[in-house]
Structure 1
């Protein structure tokens, strides 16, 4: 869904809009979810240098902030799950990449993790599909992608160990 000028102002006119839109990456005209997932790789390069406990804590805080920011944007746009919200992609992508903190692996696995997350985010196996349909508001926006990230993390852990 392409936002008109007024909607873009409504999103970017509040700090929550900048957070929810992945600092503007969700404003991409084409595949904003993919753009958000790609943008999530940039801060990951710094996160991967931290201890895994710190990264998990940061992901949990990002999830909570994402719920708040998503609720603000949903309220400002009056759309239940606008495509401009990609903070959920950030969290899902970071969850996906957690196995890369445990085992030293080649950088190409970062790209594999990116594609696995996109696959599970689009496919939405249960309970992702259930959360997407039944859990509303900012929590629902964040939850289905966090669950897709868990699936993708399990797949990434499996393929990196084969």
Structure 2
């Protein structure tokens, strides 16, 4: 298994040569030389600003569809790279970040910042069951699921802060 943290130029070409690769690397945000997950999470906020204009049910539908497409895209991209969950595959950060920001749809601007920080905290810290899922699920589903759970945890904490702040 290739555990390289930074992609070679050949791996970049392979990744960017398909729609699945483009999506899996978060439209290029996952190609940062360091902190790929953070760059992916930051990049996810840009389309979320448009999604924020939609209703909660439409946001949920987009997240479900984005998750399903992400399982496929991350699986294809991971196989092309020869790694189950390479750091450059950040579509999972997009979906996790969007889940984390669901409580911020009708909240003040600072909730977006807090939602970002909370999601990154849970994504990096990986409390149970996130760490378990990260270690035991493979392929595109494995790439996506741990960040979905991190997003749910972050959304719960953000909602509690918004209710009790």
TM-score (norm 2): 0.95
Alignment pair present for 1:110 and 2:109: no
Q: State how 1:11-22 maps to structure 2 within 5 Å.
A: 11-22=15-26
Structure 1 residue 126 displacement after superposition: 1.1
Alignment pair present for 1:81 and 2:90: no
Gaps of 5+ in 1: none
Counterpart of 2:11 in structure 1 is: 7
Q: State how 1:1-162 maps to structure 2 within 5 Å.
A: 1-101=5-105, 104-162=106-164
In structure 2, distance between residues paired with 1:120 and 1:25: 20
Structure 1 residue 100 displacement after superposition: 1.6
In structure 1, distance between residues paired with 2:87 and 2:133: 17
Structure 1 residue 105 displacement after superposition: 2.3
SS state at 2:34 partner: coil
Gaps of 5+ in 2: none
Q: Number of paired residues? A: 160
SS state at 2:80 partner: helix
Kindly report structure 1 stretches of 4+ aligned residues shifted beyond 3 Å. none
TM-score (norm 1): 0.97
Structure 1 residue 145 displacement after superposition: 0.2
In structure 1, distance between residues paired with 2:30 and 2:107: 29
CA contact under 8 A between 2:25 and 2:31: conserved in structure 1? yes
Structure 1 residue 41 displacement after superposition: 0.2
